[in-house]
Structures are given as C-alpha cells and as structure tokens.
C-alpha cells in the first residue's frame, strides 16, 4: 500500500528551555518522527517526558532549538507561515475552563471561522455540523460555564472542527474529567477521525484511551523510545512499566495470569479479548 504523505515531519528536533543559563534543560532530544495525514496517534510518557513540549511544536507555539519541524511541508521556523500553520493544526488543552470564550456555545464554535472571514451562512452550517459531530447540538444555546467538563471539551473540539483544521492536537484533554466525560471526549475524537479523516495527535496518560489509536508513540526523557501499534507497544509490559506507565487493564491482568501459569497470548489488549481467551 502507498504511504500517505507526511503531515508532520520532524527531523532531529531538540528543544532546550532557557537555553544558555544554568537552568538549561533539554526537553526534547533529537526527535525524528513522521506522522501521515489522517493518522490517529496517541502520545504516552511519564510526567516531564516532553509530551507537551512536542505538542507545542506541532503548531509552532514553540520552535526547535535545533532541527526542523515541518507541518504540511511548512517549516515552523518561518514566522510568516505561522498563521497558515495554525489554520491547519488546532490545539485542545487540559483545562476545559480556559478554552471557551463566548457567552453562548454556538458563538464559541463560530469564533474561529468568523476570524477567518467565512460567510455567515456557511458559518451557521459549520457550527451545526460541528456540534452534531460531537453530540452537543441540543446545547447550542447554552452558556458554556454551565456545562460539564466533558461537554466543554467537546465544544472546544467543535471549535476546531468548524475551523476545518486538518489536524487536532489534544494535550491530556481528559485529565480533569470524570469517567463519563472521558468517554464522551474519546468517542467524539474517534468519530472525527473516522468520519472526516482528521489527523489526531492525542496525548494521554489513560492507557485504555491509547488503545483507540492507530499508533502509539512512547516518550521518555525527551526521546521517542517506542513507536508502534497499541498491540505492539503493550506486548512489552515490563518495558512499559519501567517507564512509569500503567498497562491497559486487560493487558495487565493477562500478564499476571501468564506469570501464574495461565497459557494466554502475549498481545491481549481489550477486555473482550481477555474474556474470549479465558472462556475457551
């Protein structure tokens, strides 16, 4: 099969905060990475491993100290391209309360396309479609501050959808949510990926969320230390644990059962697979 063209292409990207003084800290260390258009990538790593720093390079909020970061072929070091880059890549952050600006949900979703000068008829259509995709149509007229965290994050995602960005980078969007809010956000992201082939970069510390991705990038101390399918990554349970990360519940249980002498495959990922193997 032909590989689709890379949307992100990073070549030996390093990022040093406070370059030059004693506090100097290399948060990213020679990262070389390519993410094709339409891929759903989860990024995992312990606190401080460089995930947020990496995310901020993807829409030119941070620039490489050395190396090159291309977004759809555009070099982030070229400031005259930043506006264009940010039309293609939007960010959703951890705290749902800091992201919504308007007093009414539909105005918030309309904010991005309005700034782009999209005609008002077209904006109304985009807002409707975006709210529909994230399952928030019935809240179009609500005040954002009355919504739950999961609903607010879905409004933030709808804002990106209405902008028609080709990629959404989500930096621990579910970290402050309850289980229900987490499930709502993940299902909106999956739907966006499946229905519109939006490129997704999804940073999380919830392993069950990472299984939904096509690919997992594991980071440790500013480096990419593993890059593969969820099945591939979680079939190395000892290694994943050594980085300070958990395993998906089913993979964890399967490993313990194997240690206890149970004959189970190495690459169990989901509850369904575990149940299936155990009930044979």
* Residues within window 120-139 making contact with Mg ion, judged by CB under 5 A: none
At closest approach, how far in Å is the CB of 207 from ligand ADP?
15
- In whole angstroms, give the CA distance from residue 54 to residue 165: 19
User: Which of these, 198, 126, 192, 194, lies nearest to 162 by C-alpha position?
Assistant: 126
Burial annotation 27-45 (CB, 10 A radius, 16+ → b, else e): bbbebebebbebbbbbbbb
At closest approach, how far in Å is the CB of 127 from ligand ADP?
31
Residues in contact with ligand ADP by the rule CB under 6 A: 17-18, 25, 27, 45, 47-53
Question: Choosing among Mg ion, ligand ADP, none, which partner's interface includes residue 49 (Cβ < 5 to 8 Å by kind)?
Answer: ligand ADP
Question: Choosing among Mg ion, ligand ADP, none, which partner's interface includes residue 198 (Cβ < 5 to 8 Å by kind)?
Answer: none
Residue number, 25 or 276, with CB nearest to ligand ADP: 25
Number of residues that bind Mg ion (CB under 5 A): 2
Residue number, 51 or 126, with CB nearest to Mg ion: 51
Under DSSP, is residue 15 helix (H, G, I), strand (E, B) or coil?
Answer: strand
Binding flag, residue 53, Mg ion (CB under 5 A) = no
Binding flag, residue 52, Mg ion (CB under 5 A) = yes
- In whole angstroms, give the CA distance from residue 104 to residue 82: 29
Under DSSP, is residue 140 helix (H, G, I), strand (E, B) or coil?
Answer: coil
**Helix 105-115 to helix 149-163 angle, to the nearest 10 degrees?**
30
At closest approach, how far in Å is the CB of 105 from Mg ion?
27
Residue number, 18 or 80, with CB nearest to ligand ADP: 18
- In whole angstroms, give the CA distance from residue 225 to residue 57: 19
- In whole angstroms, give the CA distance from residue 54 to residue 27: 9
At closest approach, how far in Å is the CB of 54 from ligand ADP?
7
At closest approach, how far in Å is the CB of 230 from Mg ion?
20
Residue number, 52 or 99, with CB nearest to ligand ADP: 52
Residue number, 136 or 245, with CB nearest to ligand ADP: 245
* H/E element, 16: strand 6-17
């Amino acid at each position: 099969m032909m590989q689709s063209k890379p949307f992100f292409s990073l070549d030996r990207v390093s990022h040093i905060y406070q370059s030059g003084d004693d506090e100097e800290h290399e948060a990213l260390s020679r990262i070389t990475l390519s993410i094709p258009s339409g891929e759903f990538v989860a990024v995992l790593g312990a606190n401080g491993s460089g995930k947020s720093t990496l995310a901020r390079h993807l829409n030119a909020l941070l620039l490489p100290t050395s190396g090159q970061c291309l977004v759809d072929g555009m070099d982030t070091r070229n400031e005259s391209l930043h506006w264009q880059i940010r039309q293609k890549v939007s960010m959703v952050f951890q705290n749902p309360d800091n992201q919504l600006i308007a007093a009414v949900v539909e105005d918030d979703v309309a904010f991005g396309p309005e700034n782009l000068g999209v005609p008002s008829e077209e904006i109304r259509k985009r807002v409707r479609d975006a709210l529909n995709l994230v399952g928030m149509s019935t809240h179009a007229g609500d005040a954002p501050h009355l919504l739950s965290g999961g609903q607010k994050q879905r409004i933030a995602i709808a804002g990106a959808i209405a902008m028609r960005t080709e990629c959404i980078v989500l930096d621990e969007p579910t970290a402050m949510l309850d289980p229900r809010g987490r499930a709502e956000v993940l299902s909106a992201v999956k739907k966006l990926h499946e229905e519109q082939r939006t490129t997704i970069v999804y940073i999380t510390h919830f392993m069950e969320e990472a299984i939904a991705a096509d690919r997992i990038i594991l980071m440790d101390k500013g480096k990419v230390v593993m890059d593969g399918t969820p099945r591939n990554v979680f079939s190395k349970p000892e290694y994943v644990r050594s980085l300070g990360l958990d395993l998906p519940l089913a993979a964890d249980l399967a490993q313990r059962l194997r240690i206890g002498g149970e004959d189970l495959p190495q690459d169990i990922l989901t509850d369904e697979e575990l149940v299936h193997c155990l009930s044979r």
